[in-house]
Structure 1
Amino acid sequence: MSSTSAFFFFFASTFLYANAFNITRILNLNNEFSTFNNLLSQTGLASTIDSRQTITVLALSNDAMSLFSDQSTEDNKKSLSLHIVLDYYDIKKLKSLNKKSVILTTLFQSSGQAKGQQGFINATVMNNGDVMFGSAVRGSLLDSKLIDSVATHPYNISVLHISSYIPIMNPEGPSDHGSSSTPLPPQPPNDDDYTFDEPPSPPSSTTKPFVAAATAATAKPPSAAKANTTTSGVSAINAPDLAFAFAFVISSFWFFMTV
């Protein structure tokens, strides 16, 4: 085996080891989560969690699992998938929000079955320092409290103990929680790190061509030759120039390969 192959094998093995975890074994260390653990296996979510490189599981203790005994396996899968966040969040990271709210994307959102903001949950640091969770659907309450950390493996998996389940809310409004005194914005977030109290970013120079294009649309149309020279403020590349650039790159690559 060459030194290059040996290095690659060592790197790949180290990477796989660093990213390997088993949610069933993690939860087996604490009988308090036995019901939650069993349902993850029954619904197939355990293997889904293990296949992810970065994940946060909001675990429920046995005394908070009564709802799930009356639901079908499919409904349990939907409910539990809302408690699986597609990013790494430990207590330190959540506490560092500094009394801000953050929208978290869950496995339920990635399933394609969520409507509106159903697949997102809101995590907020309260004035007293508590971290509260709730549905990101407008009008939902934040009534699930972060209790403690069950296990962490930065930055692959974090298992957090929360006080109560987070319901899948009706996207048209609250289904069983009533109204919230601090309603959420109606628009879905773009990513996991969206915070409600961040000021909007100032317009960048890259947005100006689009404004100009919108203004030009209401004016007299330019000539066809002029319209083909620019697209959203970026010069168009002619076919001969593109072919020359491609040939130059290929020839340079071949030269360095033969040296």
Structure 2
Amino acid sequence: MQLCPQWLGWRAMFGVAAVLAVGLGVLIAVFVPRLERKTSTRYAALLASMWQLFMRHKPLRLASAIQACVFAVFSAFWSVLALHLARPPFGLGAAAAGAFGLVGLVGVLAANLGGRVIDRVGPQSSLRVGLVCCVLAFGVLGLDGSMRGLVVGVVLLDFGLSVANVANQSMVMVMVMGLEPDARSRINTVFVTSIFLGGALGSAAASAAWAHGGWPDVCVLGLAVAILALGIHLVAKPDWGPAASAR
């Protein structure tokens, strides 16, 4: 799919995405089972209760903030990578940006490795390792403008993001979801919504940074957000369980 902008133009990507979305909608309609409602609460009230859940539970707020930062870092990098590669000294097209996805396959291995590391050292230590890798990645990307630096930065970033994702989601699934067992779906909705808000803000901020100062500003942005996520993790230090919920 990354080849489409170079071969067919950027509009082709929207056509491909539209076809995939329609196909996914058909698959969901056909194969996802219909479940009976488990509550008589009106939909508007359920939506309002999610904000109350967010404000009531400190572990949920912290996990959501960290995950939003992680996805913002991801979006900030990948949303402007093609623009960076198109400029000197690289002068490469969109296909080259897509090829960097192959370099990022290390993240697939990292997710598997991350699960094993979590079993041994725990999710909090694993999350710390992942976030430190993200910080180091943007340090490399900002200081080394060569192709070598870009490759090393992508590997570090993808590894860090994968480990941080697995670790943070592990804490959410095991501990945060137990804050209110009857509200697990709504807690998950809050968490996932925070992820996509972070991604959208990361893309928007990266575009503004690129327009203002180019790649160096994007690296500063990514570094700042990664440090913010690490800072939240180190400073907050919640007891990831029901007892830690701030009421």
TM-score normalised by length of structure 2: 0.23
Larger Rg, first or second structure (1 or 2): 1
Which one scores higher on RCO, CA 8 angstroms, separation ≥ 6?
2
Greater fraction strand? 1
Greater fraction helix? 2
